[in-house]
Amino acid sequence: MKIGKREKLYLIVIPILFVVLVMKSYLFDEYKATNFEEANVIKGIYQTVDEKYDGFVYDNNILSFRVVAIKIIKEEDGVKLYKSKVRKYLFTVIPYRDLIIEYRFNTK
């Protein structure tokens, strides 16, 4: 069987794109907390998601998740309402779904 030019190109491009996806997933996707309060919010979001998504596939890292964005929606009487974007991953590399989670944080 003879491989054409297009198939050879695919054999080169697909592994390169996969490496780029892996690097993007590990280096750029996860949100980095800029202060102590954000670090506590991220910790709380992970606890919330852990409680909701539990099972064999999550315990063995077949499916995992990372917080990729946080934004303050509302602030009243020392209570801040955060909106976070949590991305689910297959084998910690391949993103396949985004979740929006609201989290209340008491600053008092």
Q: What are the tens digits of pLDDT across the range 15-74? A: 999 999 989 888 888 899 888 989 999 999 999 998 888 888 888 889 999 999 999 999
pTM of the model: 0.79
Nearest C-alpha neighbor of 88 from the set 43, 44, 52, 39: 52
Tell me the backbone φ, ψ of residue 92, rounded to 5 degrees: 60, 10
| Most confident by average pLDDT, 19-23, 82-86, 92-96 | 82-86
* Single-letter code of the amino acid located at 32: K
The count of C-alpha atoms lying within 13 angstroms of the C-alpha of 69, restricted to the half-sphere facing its C-beta, is 8
Question: Is residue 84 within 8 Å of residue 49, measured between CB atoms?
Answer: no
